[in-house]
């Protein structure tokens, strides 16, 4: 059964962060808030835990880009390759509701092998970043629920309803209050000279303009 740990960004319960971090280090799954949807995650360096999430979310890691939650750009740089231009974009936009697709480094577990890229999130949510900081490395992250998973949108934002969905899979859910219903904006930065917006979401395009990026391609999906 999933245990609910209730805390808020304005007053984070450090004990709950310790409890959740220990669970992650033990290979368990947790649900936690981000600046967009609630996420289900595990230690990104624990291959067996990653396999559990992939099975749970019906993800083929050889075909779908996996995403990691990092505390800051310095932590991200240990697991992805960031050139100077990409760094300027990340610095301008993060923390924020973006997933940046970047070339993968060789420091990720075997389950990432064969994948040339990985999605990086540094959310504007202190709880999520505290988890990555306390863990000492990124969390593998997937949306806990999306609009295709539920009958009613309020299920996506309600931590207690999310906990019921994952009561046999997640050890803990960190209840940081009502979540949001919009996913992150996904940006392909594998060629930092030509960023491509793969999916429009919660991120604001004006952040790119402040990074002095002139040529941004946009792919629109139906």
The predicted pLDDT at position 222 comes to 33
Retrieve residue 82's tokens: 């960031």
- Each residue's pLDDT tens digit, 82-130: 999 999 999 999 999 999 999 999 888 777 777 899 999 999 999 999 9
Q: Does 33 fall in a domain? A: yes
pLDDT band at residue 64 using 50, 70 and 90 as cut-offs? confident
Count: domains in the chain:
1
Does residue 211 fall inside a structural domain? no
Rg (CA), the chain: 16
User: For residues 111 and 48, which has the higher predicted lDDT (pLDDT)?
Assistant: 48
- Predicted TM-score (pTM) of the model is 0.90
Q: Worst-scoring range by mean pLDDT, 8-12, 62-66, 166-170?
A: 62-66
Q: What is the CATH number of the domain that holds 38?
A: 3.90.870.10
Range of the domain at 99: 3-181
Residue in the structure block whose two tokens are 């947790």: 30
With respect to residue 116, please indicate whether it lies within any of the assigned structural domains: yes
The predicted pLDDT at position 213 comes to 54
Q: Are 160 and 4 in contact (CB under 8 A)?
A: yes
Q: Determine, yes or no, domain membership for 220.
A: no
Q: For residue 20, give Cα distances in angstroms to 23, 86, 192.
A: 5, 32, 35
- Please give the pLDDT value at position 108: 82
* 193 Cβ neighbours under 8 A, 6+ residues apart: 85, 215
In a domain, 207, yes or no: no
**Whole-number Å distance between alpha carbons of 37 and 164:** 16
């Amino acid at each position: 059964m999933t245990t609910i740990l209730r805390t808020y960004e304005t007053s984070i319960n450090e004990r709950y962060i310790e409890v959740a971090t220990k669970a992650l280090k033990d290979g368990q799954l947790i649900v936690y808030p981000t600046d967009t949807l609630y996420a289900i995650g595990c230690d990104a360096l624990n291959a067996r835990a990653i396999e559990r999430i992939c099975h749970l979310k019906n993800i083929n890691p050889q075909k779908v880009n996996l995403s990691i939650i990092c505390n800051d750009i310095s932590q991200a740089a240990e697991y992805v390759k960031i050139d100077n231009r990409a760094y300027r974009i990340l610095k301008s936009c993060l923390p924020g509701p973006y997933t940046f697709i970047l070339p993968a480094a060789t420091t990720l577990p075997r389950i990432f092998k064969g994948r040339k890229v990985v999605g990086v999130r540094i959310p504007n949510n202190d709880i999520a970043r505290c988890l990555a900081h306390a863990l000492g490395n990124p969390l593998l992250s997937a949306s806990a629920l999306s609009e295709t998973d539920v009958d009613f949108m309020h299920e996506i934002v309600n931590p207690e309803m999310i906990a019921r969905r994952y009561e046999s899979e997640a050890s803990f859910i960190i209840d940081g209050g009502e979540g949001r219903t919009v996913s992150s904006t996904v940006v392909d930065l594998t060629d930092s000279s030509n960023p491509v917006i793969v999916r429009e979401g919660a991120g604001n395009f004006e952040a790119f303009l402040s990074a002095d990026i002139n040529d941004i391609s946009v792919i629109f999906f139906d």
